[in-house]
Amino acid sequence: MAVDLPRSFTIRESTHRILNPFTPEKLATLGAALRMPAGASILDLCSGKGELLCTWAAAHGVTGTGVDISTVFVSAARERAAELGVADRVTFVHGDASTYASPELVDVAACLGGTHIGGGAAGTVALLERQLRPGGVLLIGDCFWRSEPPSQEAIEGCHAATRDDFNTLPGLVERFGGLGFDVVEMVLADEDSWDRYAAAQWMNIRRWLDANPDDELAPELRAELEHDPLRHTRFRRHLLGWGVFALMRR
């Protein structure tokens, strides 16, 4: 059987173009900050709906390949590439990003919000570096604690099991240094970024529930909609940070 994401993911993020707490403006800021030459090659693992590759190909003339486990997201990425007129410069592959091997080394290797594929940030850095040309740039998108979680309830409200599941921002930067990398750029989400990511999910879920009240997933998503806005406003919005870090081997 082909791999794919559970259906709840595609319902929750049905109207999203960016599948993490980044706004289009922040994604554009990151693309400009990297100062990529036209024709630079990018590998984007866990590429979602392809917004990074498609918009950067349109704005900066880069080329690239995106890999994602969701057939729905890969289809959306191909549609986005056609919409922006960059289908000749970017390719999207349905598959397991954790085992994908690029046929050629790339200038930029990225994984924004999918560090589970490497068992965490360190493993994902190692996975990406195997695909990277000497002197190339790694992009890692990951969570960190903006402030100390006050309780186990707060930790679980931020989708973590223990305090140690996430680092602090200085701790994460220090971790990258310990792996032998310079942090050469970063763009961080803010509370509004989190709102645009999380709150849009609530509307997607509610619209879907109204249209599909008898679906087998309805009880699960109904419960999520009842509880997630409070978890977001009580905990995640101010406790949990997220950002993309550009790394170069020392």
Q: What does the alpha-carbon distance between residue 154 and residue 148 come to, in Å, rounded to a whole number?
A: 10
pLDDT in tens, 209-247: 999 999 999 999 999 999 999 999 999 999 999 999 999
- Residue 200 inside a domain? The answer is no
Residue labelled with tokens 């360190």: 122
- Residue 234 inside a domain? The answer is no
Using the predicted structure, report yes or no on whether residue 37 has a pLDDT greater than 70.
Answer: yes
- In this prediction, residue 1 carries a pLDDT of 41
pTM, entire model:
0.95
- Residue 236 inside a domain? The answer is no
Give the CATH number of the domain where residue 172 resides.
Answer: 3.40.50.150
3-state SS of 101-130 is: CCCCCEEEEEEECCHHHHCCHHHHHHHHHC
- In this prediction, residue 234 carries a pLDDT of 97
The mean per-residue pLDDT over the stretch 101-129 comes to 95
Per-residue pLDDT band at 119 (split at 50, 70, 90): very high
Mean pLDDT of the chain: 96
Distances in whole angstroms, Cα of residue 191 to Cα of each of 4, 141, 228 = 30, 16, 16
Per-residue pLDDT band at 2 (split at 50, 70, 90): low
Q: How many distinct structural domains can be found in the chain?
A: 1
Distances in whole angstroms, Cα of residue 196 to Cα of each of 17, 156, 211, 217 = 11, 21, 23, 24
- Residue 136 inside a domain? The answer is yes
Using the predicted structure, report yes or no on whether residue 140 has a pLDDT greater than 80.
Answer: yes
Determine the structural domain holding residue 21 and report its residue range: 7-145+163-190+241-249
Burial class (CB in 10 A: 0-12, 13-18, 19+), 17: middle
**For residue 85, which of 124, 59, 109, 110 has the smallest C-alpha distance?**
59
Distances in whole angstroms, Cα of residue 118 to Cα of each of 48, 61, 99, 145, 204 = 17, 29, 10, 20, 30
Per-residue pLDDT band at 167 (split at 50, 70, 90): very high
The mean per-residue pLDDT over the stretch 70-94 comes to 98
- In this prediction, residue 4 carries a pLDDT of 87
Using the predicted structure, report yes or no on whether residue 78 has a pLDDT greater than 70.
Answer: yes
- Residue 157 inside a domain? The answer is no
Using the predicted structure, report yes or no on whether residue 3 has a pLDDT greater than 90.
Answer: no
Count CA within 13 A, CB hemisphere, residue 214: 0
The mean per-residue pLDDT over the stretch 103-132 comes to 95
Q: What does the alpha-carbon distance between residue 204 and residue 198 come to, in Å, rounded to a whole number?
A: 10
**Residue 112 · residue 142 · CB < 8 Å:** no
The mean per-residue pLDDT over the stretch 79-96 comes to 98
- Residue 215 inside a domain? The answer is no
